[in-house]
Amino acid sequence: MAGTVLQRSRQVLLDDQAIIASDVGVLRTENQDRVSVLRVNDSSRPFLCFALSDGMGGMKDGGQCATVGIASFFSALLATSELEPQRKLHIATNVANETVYNIWQGRGGATLSAVLIEGSRSVHVSNVGDSRVYALDGRWTKLSRLTVDDNLKEAFGGADKGLVQFIGIGKSLVPNVQQVSADLDSFFITSDGAHYFDEKIFEQLLLSASEPLRATDRLLALARWLGGPDNASVAAFSVSHLLNTLNKKGSLPTVWSGHSQLHLQRTPDKIANVDAPPSEPADVQARPPAQKQRTATKRKSKASKKAAQDGQLEIKISSDEGEDAADS
């Protein structure tokens, strides 16, 4: 299913306890960010997964890469829903990477950051690229950054912010997956356009907001007020407020995609080559020279008319309108 990607969208969901929002910014003409939520209740391990993908505009078809990346990531999570969360995330990230690579052969890519919540209050984070996951404790007194950017500066101490890995790079991908402390309650997944400004300002803005919806609106407003040089997207939620939604057994898996709510029919037999990750991740520095040449700087290109029609999620499913209409 394909649909037009809105330049600005804001959707409050899950009984008003979560928000996904995106803004094209001031300088860009195409929004290549994708932010979505998957809820799976018809499983022995019900879970919620919030995911954000930022298409690499300096490469080919960045927005489409982000769309395909999240769609294949969610499809793989459905196919592996009975597995433990860390294994699910490893497999789904590898499937997303393989799917994007098979289509664009390393010439297109995207970031992918996700938070997976199980009904037991188990929370796991996965990350590829330079989108980020932040979290606050239950009292909103301390902000923690949970991810490290996959770029030369943060991975190896260099000065270049070019990505060393991304969804679509090929076989050298090493997903970053971790379980996080139960003390952390409110989470924020951000594209680089929503966290590019001073870290102290970013932290103070979140700490003073007191709840995820207000914090998200302030982040996107500030990103635009400071010049809006890039697409800015946020997914925000408090785990403690979402656990009840996982107790609604028997409902169809559901995806929220920023402007609609989609009910998925399970077709796990169509997910091919879902292989387990290696028991010990390969060293990132050991990737072959051909892969190193794919290190890419994320520069957003201006939109083409064709790209503007790119779908938010290309999954063959039945759909109905979302809980909240998007802002135009």
DSSP characters for 89-146? HHHHHHHHHHHHHHHHTTS--B-EEEEEEETTS-EEEEEESS-EEEEEETTS--EEE-
What b/e string do you get for 244-276 counting C-beta neighbours within 10 Å, with b at 16 or more? ebbeeeeeebbbbbbbbbbebeeeeeebeebee
pLDDT digits (tens, 9 = 90+) for 162-187: 899 999 999 999 999 999 999 999 99
Q: The sheet that has 176-179: what strands, in order across it?
A: 176-179, 123-128, 112-118, 47-54, 33-40, 254-256, 260-263, 318-321
Angle between helices 212-225 and 199-209 (to 10 degrees): 140
Out of 50-54, 208-212, 312-316, pick the least confident. 312-316
pTM over 0.75: yes
Average pLDDT, the chain: 82
- Name the residue among 122, 123, 119, 141 with its Cα closest to residue 133: 123
- Name the residue among 78, 111, 60, 7 with its Cα closest to residue 316: 78
Give the domain ranges of the chain.
8-321
Can you tell me the mean pLDDT for 79-98?
97
Find out whether 61 and 108 touch, Cβ atoms under 8 Å: yes
Find out whether 94 and 277 touch, Cβ atoms under 8 Å: yes
CA distance linking residue 317 with residue 101, whole number of Å: 24
Note the CATH number of domain 8-321: 3.60.40.10
